[in-house]
Structure 1
Amino acid sequence: MLIVDAIATLLGGALLLRFWMQAIRVRPPSSVAQFTFQLSDWLVRPLRRIVPGVGGYDWASLIGAFLIVLLATSVLLLAGWPPQAMLLMACQRFLQWILYGFMALLVVEAIFSWINPHAPLAPFVRALNEPLLRPLRRVVPLVGNLDLSLLVALILLQIANILLGMAFGGR
């Protein structure tokens, strides 16, 4: 189960990153684009024939990520879980992947700001986080020239994760 989860999380993360980059119109550095597209094209291209992009969103990538989490969670059927529970767990895990992905991006931005704010990937990560941080920056004041919006975003995402766990029965 651990290997299935690791592979599913890597692939699902690439699909979610692909969706987010396209949704907010961020052009990735070539290394990130190459990694993301090579890892996910085998699933996204066929899905695009069935689910075209609508409203400027790459729905095939998002649906692909959900299909990956559903497939990884279906291993639970082998353990005797009822199909309804498996579907609910897949929905919970999918939403958790999204929350954890945002948390990871925020942590990477914090590390870049401490260690090397001029790293080649720093502007890309900053651009990915901007839609999350922009509304918070309007509300959270600078403290001694220190932007705490990143910390507030992490706390809010953690709260959302806790509420998600409570909504799905504390799993």
Structure 2
Amino acid sequence: MLIVDTIAGLLGAVLLLRFWMQAIRVRPPSSVAQFTFQLSDWLVRPLRRVVPGVGGFDWASLIGAFLIVFLATSVLFFVGAPWQTVLLAALHRFLQWILYGFMAMLVIEAIFSWVNPHAPLAPFIRALNEPLLRPLRKVVPLVGNLDLSLLVALILLQIAQLVLGMLFGR
């Protein structure tokens, strides 16, 4: 069961990354783009025939990620359970995946800023995080030369996780 959850989580993360890159119109480095598209095209291309992109969003990637979490949730936890129960549990896990993905990107940016701010992937990660951090940078002042908006974003995402847990009774 751990293998199913791990594979589903990694594939879901790739699909969510694909959606986010296209939603905010970030051009990834070619290695990241190849990796993302090669891992997800088998699901996204057929879904695009049914779910076209509307409003500049790649809905097929987002729906593909939800289908993966729905299937993994039904296999892992609720074999034989009513579909409504599986759907609610899958929605909870899907929203968790989104929040964890944002947290991971913020942590990766923090590590890059401390270890190697000129790493080849650093500008790409910064571009992925910019829509999250831009509104906070308007409110959170710099402390010396230290930008605390990243820390505030992580705290807000943790609060969102807690609220999500309360909403879904977990």
TM, length-normalised to structure 2: 0.98
Gaps of 5+ in 1: none
Question: Residue 68 of structure 2 aligns with which residue?
Answer: 68
Question: Residue 17 of structure 1 aligns with which residue?
Answer: 17
Shift of 1:77: 2.8
Partner of 1:77, secondary structure, is coil
The 10-residue stretch of structure 1 (83-92 or 118-127) with the greater mean CA deviation from structure 2 = 83-92
Instruction: Give, as a single letter, the amino acid of the residue that structure 2 aligns with 1:99.
Output: L
Shift of 1:58: 0.3
Question: Residue 125 of structure 1 aligns with which residue?
Answer: 125
Question: Residue 87 of structure 1 aligns with which residue?
Answer: 87
Within 5 Å, give how 1:151-166 maps onto structure 2: 151-166=151-166
1:96 equivalent in alignment to 2:96:
yes
1:77 equivalent in alignment to 2:78:
yes
Question: Residue 136 of structure 1 aligns with which residue?
Answer: 136
1:33-66 Cα shifts (integer Å, max 9, x gaps)? 0110000000000000000000000000000000
1:82-127 Cα shifts (integer Å, max 9, x gaps)? 3222111100000000000000000000000000000000000000
Instruction: Give, as a single letter, the amino acid of the residue that structure 2 aligns with 1:132.
Output: L
Partners in 1 of 2:155 and 2:3 — Cα distance?
Answer: 30
1:122-143 Cα shifts (integer Å, max 9, x gaps)? 0000000000000000000000
1:110 equivalent in alignment to 2:110:
yes
Partners in 2 of 1:36 and 1:9 — Cα distance?
Answer: 14
Shift of 1:81: 3.4
Question: Residue 59 of structure 1 aligns with which residue?
Answer: 59
Question: Residue 3 of structure 1 aligns with which residue?
Answer: 3
Runs of 4+ in 1 over 4 A off after TM superposition: none
Q: CA RMSD in A?
A: 0.8
Partners in 2 of 1:26 and 1:98 — Cα distance?
Answer: 18
Instruction: Give, as a single letter, the amino acid of the residue that structure 1 aligns with 2:78.
Output: L
Partners in 2 of 1:126 and 1:151 — Cα distance?
Answer: 14
Partners in 2 of 1:26 and 1:144 — Cα distance?
Answer: 30
Partners in 2 of 1:162 and 1:2 — Cα distance?
Answer: 24
Question: Residue 149 of structure 1 aligns with which residue?
Answer: 149
Partner of 1:74, secondary structure, is helix
